[in-house]
Structure 1
Amino acid sequence: MPEPISQTEYWNSEVGERWTAMQAELDRVFAPLTAALLDGAAPRPGERMLDIGCGCGETALLAAGRLGPDGGVTAVDVSRPMLARARARPASGAPITWIEADAQTHPFAPEHDLALSRFGVMFFDDSRAAFATIRRGLRPGGRLAVLCWRALQENPWVSVARDAALGVVPEPAPVPPGGPGPFRFADRDGLAAVLAGAGFADVAVAPVDALLTLGDDADEAGRFCLTVGPVAGLLRDLDEALRDRAAAAVRAAMPRERPVRLGAACWLATAVNPA
């Protein structure tokens, strides 16, 4: 059994390159969820904001427009290819500082009014310690808003393709309870407890549901599911023939409607730094 690689290694491998190549498509697909996060975070003109796991920069760039020229954004990620794409994108509004760093250990200055993350907080080695580090980067009264996935079964945009692929490929080893992974915070009470344990107050966890438009047709939607997310990981180390069979099964499982839309289910967690 090969040793698991770190998240930094993972997101600087071909995975980071693949997600970078899919930047425009990912931002389009996740647009309704991004809007829900920004509305919940409510960045205000002139504020300073942390973007945790900023990826290719969509949330930082959109928030910068709301913060305006008197605000500021510090956007952090471990992935060099994704940060390179973020830095190359046109920006307006608040100035953005892009930092290649691990947010769970980076010594943020305690000067931020808001910290947010779109699907960037489920992969920490130690979630409570990581959130405590983020909290220390907030001013007293500073706000946190994070978006993370609910249970796999509540997310057909993943489960439909995954079930189809598992009709062809072996079942993966289960993720250890509480271990890094996209559905780590599926349990609402568990997420709230982690945030409270990290020192946050006024913790609230609310459901966010949306239909994601995965593609104009079944082939395009299947390609999206096969390129990003958990299904891509199932196929990554297979031989070509088995990978092709699994890909065909995924495309066949996509709805025949045009465009192809499948449901997504998230938690929007908000909290305040009381210190």
Structure 2
Amino acid sequence: MPEPITQTAYWNGDVGTRWADMQAELDRVFSPLTAALIDGADLRPGERVLDIGCGCGETALLAASRTGPDGAVAAVDVSRPMLARARTRPAAGAAVTWIEADAQTHPFAPEHDIALSRFGVMFFEESRAAFANIRRALRPGGRVAVLCWRSLAENAWVTVPRDAVLTVLPEPAPSPPGGPGPFRFADGDALVDLLRQAGFASAAVARVDRLLEIGADQEEATRFSATVGPIAGLLREVEDPALRERALAALRQAMPAERPVRLGGACWLATAVNPG
């Protein structure tokens, strides 16, 4: 049986390149959720921000704008393709330092006022150790604010295309419980408990529900859904062109006829404080 691929290898392969190529589209689709994170983080002028799993840089650049010229942003990711894309984007406000590193183990200086993350923390291989390392990067009283997906069933932007494709293709084997993946922290209480185990205080989660515009029309929404999310890998593995076209046709038919096409996204905004 082949060894499972590491997250570093995964995000430095085809997936990381594809997400880098789709940076503008992904930022547009997820913008309502990104805004909820940035507002919930309550960033203040002059703060030092640590962006965990910064990807192509959207949250780091927004944090730089909020914290201003007296602030600083350290943006960390394991994905070389996405960091390369991030480095091409203009920044305004605080200086942004792009760091290729694994936030689970990187020896951060304990100088940050806040650590934030948009859809990055679900992919840690050792979550408790990773959150403990992030806490050590914060000054006493420093904050953490992370956005992660709630359950698969609550996220129509995933379930609608997934259910359609699975009328044609067999359902894939489930991921190992507790392993890295987008819905790892669907249980908000478990996430709060994990933050407490990592040494945080005042840990809490709040529901964030937004409509996501996944395409201007059914065709665009179909292309997006076939490229991003849990069914994308399943479709790429289909070797029979006719079978793949049947799956895409089912996906296209399942998309709402409204223009633009909007489907629901459901997240947790988790916050906590480093007691020092």
Fold conserved between structures, TM > 0.5: yes
Distance 1:257 1:47 in 2: 42
State the match for 1:93 in structure 2. Answer: 93
How far apart in 1 are the matches of 2:245 and 2:20?
23
Q: Where does residue 245 of structure 1 map in the other structure?
A: 246
Where does the alignment leave 5 or more consecutive residues of structure 1 unmatched?
Answer: none
SS of alignment partner, residue 132 of structure 2:
helix
Give aligned-pair identity as a percent: 76
Counterpart of 2:202 in 1: which secondary structure?
strand
Distance of 1:273 and 1:157 partners within structure 2: 34
Q: Which amino acid aligns with 1:243?
A: R
* RMSD of aligned Cα (Å): 0.9
CA distance in 2 between partners of 1:259 and 1:16 (Å): 27
The alpha-carbon deviation at position 236 of structure 1 amounts to: 2.2
Match of 2:272 in 1: 271
1:103-114 equivalences under 5 Å are: 103-114=103-114
Distance 1:263 1:236 in 2: 24
Question: Which residue is 1:213 aligned to?
Answer: 213
Matched length:
275
Alignment partners' CA distance in 1, 2:2 and 2:118: 30
Residue 13 (1) aligns with residue 13 (2): yes
CA distance in 1, matches of 2:24, 2:88: 13
Q: What SS does the corresponding residue of 1:213 show, helix, strand or coil?
A: strand
The 1:193/1:88 distance shift into structure 2, 3 A limit, reads same
- State the secondary structure of the residue aligned to 2:121: coil
Post-superposition offset of 1:235: 1.5
- CA distance in 1 between partners of 2:244 and 2:83 (Å): 30
Give the TM-score normalised by structure 2.
Answer: 0.98
Q: CA deviation at 1:176?
A: 1.6
Q: Which residue of 2 aligns with 1:73?
A: 73
Change (3 A) 1:110 1:217: same
Matched, 1:262 2:263: yes
SS at match of 1:122: helix
What SS does structure 1 have at the residue aligned with 2:122?
A: coil
**Unpaired segments ≥5 residues, structure 2:** none
List per-residue Cα deviations over 1:10-37 (Å, max 9, x = no partner).
1111111111111000000101100000
Q: Distance in 1 between matches of 2:205 and 2:240?
A: 42
2:58 matched residue in structure 1: 58
TM-score, normalised to structure 1, is: 0.98
The CA deviation string for residues 63-85 of structure 1, in whole angstroms up to 9 with x for no partner, is 10011011000000011110000
Shift in Å at residue 3 of structure 1? 2.5
Match of 1:133 in 2: 133
Q: For residue 240 of structure 1, report the CA deviation from its aligned partner.
A: 4.4
2:153 & 2:206 partners in 1: Cα distance? 18
- Tell me the distance in 1 between the aligned counterparts of 2:160 and 2:254: 7
Match of 1:225 in 2: 225
Bigger Cα displacement from structure 2, 239-248 vs 64-73 = 239-248
